[in-house]
Amino acid sequence: MLKLSWNATTDHVKALAQCRFLDAPRPGLLPSRRRAVVSCYPASKAPSLAVVSDGLAWVEPGSGSLADRLRLGSLTEDGLSYKERFIVRCYEVGINKTATVETIANLLQEVGCNHAQSVGFSTDGFATTTTMRKMNLIWVTARMHIEIYKYPAWSDVVEIETWCQGEGRIGTRRDWILKDYANGQVIGRATSKWVMMNQETRRLQKVDDDVRDEYLIFCPRESRLAFPEENNGSLKKIAKLEDTAQYSRLGLISMPQEIIDSYELQTITLDYRRECQRNDVVDSLSSHEPDENLEAILQLNGTNGSAASPATEDYRQFLHLLRLSGDGLEINRGRTQWRKKPMR
């Protein structure tokens, strides 16, 4: 992102000189800000956005690299979120011909990275602003929550919308909405929290005003949440598992095979505690967790919520713990909810 003031550096002025205006400002698009739309072509760099005086400048659709021109994604009209469409490929599905949870997670990461690049943040995958790079700061994930209501099948087209917003003084938040592009049905939602870390010291750092000014200009002015419901699952704390876990394996992620064979992942929540370095040996622990919300789920599915109801077999919930072998330090905690695979 190029954020320019009248005392901008010579390099910024040169970059701005390579931009051309595409259309006039549209009143009311961004309250209290003037908007100028320009197309920038710095040598050997991807197209970027610029702030001209106190107005915004956007990349011309179709400019930039070949990938930019072919990508089925763009900023929304207000410039405060990003949408992209994806075709589910044959190698992205499992044995039941629907996308795997790994595919869904990869698409969320892809659209998030493309959003960051489309507003001019770094192209190294860390979505850093100019000030962050000067201070050697990066964003790291603190929490991720994904809910999948229906897995897309091979050849389905999925549209994903994503946006960011401030999360207090210590970080930021990114949300996603997943839709079946053919009918507009919401098939999944996700939210994440990110904190700032010094890339050299690996210490967390508060978000200062200069950094906030650089990214909040691209965020919704009012709070917009993928999970606006009160007491939603994304807020639920994850209990810590101890050595009495029902399932554990050294160095591998463990889940009972009967769950993997008969169930599909519906919801996953991860809390990140520390980094896992290359060659670290990791213990994975999992245990079944009774779900106090199961009765409500069953009622929504047309059952009476009775413990004797066959529908109680349709859902499973687990706690997970990844830790470093030896010293037992936590890497992350997790919770997963599983539902019976549909008959196909």
**Could you give the CA distance from residue 305 to residue 325 in angstroms, rounded to a whole number?**
41
Count of other CB atoms within 10 angstroms of residue 211:
20
pLDDT tens-place string over residues 1-43 = 333 333 333 343 333 333 333 343 333 333 333 333 333 333 3
pLDDT above 60 (res 45) = no
Using a pLDDT cut of 70, give the percent of the chain over it.
74
Of 170, 117, 121, nearest in space to 3 by CA: 121
Contact between residue 193 and residue 202 where contact means Cβ atoms under 8 Å apart: no
The pLDDT of residue 140: 92
CA-wise closest residue to 262 among 156, 343, 162: 343
What is the model's pLDDT at position 295? 57
Is residue 77's pLDDT more than 90? yes
pLDDT at 56 over 60: no
Measured in whole angstroms, the distance separating CA 303 from the mean position of its chain's CA atoms is 34
pLDDT of 223 strictly over 80? yes
51-90 burial, b for 16+ CB within 10 Å, e for fewer? bbeeebbbbbeeebeeebeebebbbeeebbbbbbebebee
Return the closest-CA partner of residue 267 out of 331, 190, 322, 340. 190
What's residue 52's pLDDT? 35
Judged by average pLDDT, the poorest of 53-57, 206-210, 219-223, 233-237 is: 53-57
pLDDT attached to residue 127: 87
All domains in the chain, ordered by first residue? 66-230 (3.10.129.10), 236-292+314-343 (3.10.129.10)
The pLDDT, as a whole number, for residue 261 is: 87
Joined tokens for residue 22: 């595409």
Query: Would you say residue 87 has pLDDT above 80?
Result: yes
C-alpha distances (whole Å) from 337 to each of 65, 188, 255, 260, 268 are: 41, 14, 12, 12, 7
- pLDDT tens string 149-188: 999 999 999 999 999 998 877 789 999 999 999 999 999 9
Q: Mind spelling out the 3-state secondary structure of 312-332?
A: HHHEEEEEEEEEECCCCCEEE
Rounded average pLDDT over 236-251:
80
- The mean predicted confidence, pLDDT, of the chain is 79
Confidence of residue 126 (pLDDT cuts 50, 70, 90): confident
**318: how many CB neighbours lie within 10 A of its CB?**
23
